[in-house]
Amino acid sequence: MNCPHCASATTKERTKKTTLGYRTFHCLDCKQTFNERTGTPFNFLEYPTDIVLLVVLWRLRYKVSLRDLAEMFLERGWVFTYEAVREWERRFAPLITTQLRTKRRGQAGRSWYVDETYIKVHGKWCYLYRAIDGDGNLVDSRLSEKRDMDAARQFFKQALEGGGQAPESVTTDGHRSSPRAIREMLGNEVTHRTHVYLNNQIEQDHRGIKQRYSPMHGFGAFASAARFCRAFDELRNYFRFSCTRGKPASLREQRQNFLQRLTALQVLLQAAS
> Mean pLDDT of successive 10-residue segments in the chain (273 residues)?
85 86 87 84 86 94 90 92 94 94 89 92 93 92 94 94 89 88 93 86 90 79 94 93 66 89 88 70
Q: Give the number of other CB atoms < 10 A from CB of residue 65.
A: 14
Note whether 6 and 27 are within 8 A (CB).
yes
The residue range of the domain holding 63 is 44-104+221-241+250-273
Same structural domain for residues 28 and 61?
no
114 shares its domain with 197:
yes
What pLDDT sits at residue 56? 95
Q: Based on the fold, state whether residues 98 and 112 are members of the same structural domain.
A: no
User: Are 227 and 165 in the same domain?
Assistant: no
| pLDDT score at 236 | 94
Element (H, E) at 97: helix 82-104
- Cβ atoms 63, 212 nearer than 8 A: yes
Cα separation, 49 vs 266, in Å, equals 9
Q: Say whether both 137 and 192 belong to one domain.
A: yes
Q: Looking at residue 134, which CATH number applies to its domain?
A: 3.30.420.10
State whether 96 and 229 are in the same domain: yes
Residue 144 and residue 18 in one domain: no
Residues 181 and 99 in one domain: no
**182-to-109, 120, 128, 160 alpha-carbon distances in Å:** 17, 27, 17, 10
Q: Please tell me the total count of domains within the chain.
A: 3
What whole-number distance in Å separates Cα of residue 152 and Cα of residue 157? 9
Give the whole-angstrom CA distance, residue 61 versus residue 209. Answer: 10
Rounded distance, CA 238 to CA 59, Å? 15
Can you tell me whether residue 273 is helix, strand or coil?
Answer: coil
Whether 148 and 175 share a structural domain:
yes
pTM of the model: 0.87
d(CA 26, CA 179): 60
What distance in Å separates the CA atoms of residue 107 and residue 248, rounded to the nearest whole number? Answer: 23
Task: Identify the three-state secondary structure at position 124.
Answer: strand
**Cα-to-chain-centroid distance, residue 104:** 11
116 and 212, same domain (yes or no) = yes
182-215 per-residue burial string, b: 16 or more CB within 10 A, e: under 16: beebbeeebebeeeeeebebbeebbebbeebbee
Same domain (yes/no): 145, 208: yes
Both 100 and 227 in one domain: the answer is yes
